[in-house]
Amino acid sequence: MNQKEIRELIEFLIDKDIAEFELERGDVKLRVKRGGVQAVATAPVITMAAPVAAPVVAHAPAAASAPAPVSVAATAPVGVTPEPVEDELAGAHIIKSPIVGTFYGSPSPGAPPFVKAGDTVSVGQVLCIVEAMKLMNEIESDYSGTVLKTFVTNGQPVEYGQSLFAVRP
């Protein structure tokens, strides 16, 4: 399990408000446990037991005796900041990126965008493309209404759960 997979898993757990999670994959065991809700959001603490057969740990030196659990503090992905809620967007439905990749607002360079502010969209209508690992993933609207705002620009990298569009019914 690499750092990117762990980061995506943590973001998913935070998004779904899951307090405790445990995963075993082969000889790697991952356990994530978040504390109670506080005034300031804190990152969850991850404990990973190093595999017995391979005591090399990327973030901390391995002990000569039995491997000890390693604590890794997870941080928010670079470039992802909570968007301020503006009065004009109050009550709007926010459509978020379901994957990590590169945002494209049109089907090809030079083509008109799928949608722009003021356009009316319906459920299932393609809003944009997010390219991930050379695959073009069409992102469809899960809400009907009028597009108020596009939060990202063409060619910008996006993270899982990052706001893409604000739609008002």
Q: Where are the domains of the chain?
A: 3-73, 87-168
Asked whether the beta carbons of 26 and 1 are under 8 A apart, the reply is no
145 strand-pairing partners: 121
pTM score, whole prediction: 0.49
Asked whether the beta carbons of 3 and 28 are under 8 A apart, the reply is no
Q: Tell me what pLDDT residue 60 has.
A: 45
Predicted confidence (pLDDT) per residue in 3-62, tens digit: 787 788 788 878 887 878 787 877 777 777 776 544 444 445 555 554 544 444 444 444
Pairing state of beta strands 145-150 and 120-121? Answer: antiparallel
Biggest alpha carbon distance in the chain? 64
Predicted confidence (pLDDT) per residue in 76-132, tens digit: 455 555 555 456 778 899 999 999 999 999 998 889 999 999 999 999 999 999 999
- 87-168 CATH choice from 1.20.910.10, 3.40.960.10, 2.40.50.100, 3.40.30.10: 2.40.50.100
DSSP 84-140: PPPGGGTTPEEEE-SS-EEEESSSSTTSPPS--TT-EE-TT-EEEEEEETTEEEEEE
